[in-house]
Amino acid sequence: MARKVPRKFSLHFGSGVVAEEATYPGEFHEPTIQLLEFTEGDAAGSVLLRFCSYSHRGAFMREPLLLNDTDIAALREAIRATPRIRDLLRQLVE
């Protein structure tokens, strides 16, 4: 299920927009990496990577993101379309 980007989000320490989203429909859930841009609150002006997943019905899942080999390969493909997420992940591993 494709979700609109950008779209609003709100956390207890700030709110803003999901600026990029890499996702794909896996067997059990939709593994997702989001680039959150904060525009309000204590985190205003910052960006954050959120590793999460959605159910196949589109509901945000409040549990750890679990990835198998197939998920990793498919999510790698999705990340190619998200240059800012890709750059931040590169900083994580280099």
Which residue, chain included where needed, has tokens 């750059």? 87
Q: List, for residues 56-92, the tens digit of each pLDDT value.
A: 999 999 999 999 999 999 999 999 999 999 999 999 9
Long-range contacts of 18-21 (CB under 8 A, 24+ apart): 19/47, 19/84, 20/82, 20/83, 20/84, 20/85, 21/82
**Other CB atoms closer than 10 Å to residue 75's CB: what's the count?**
20
> Rounded to two decimals, what is the model's pTM?
0.93
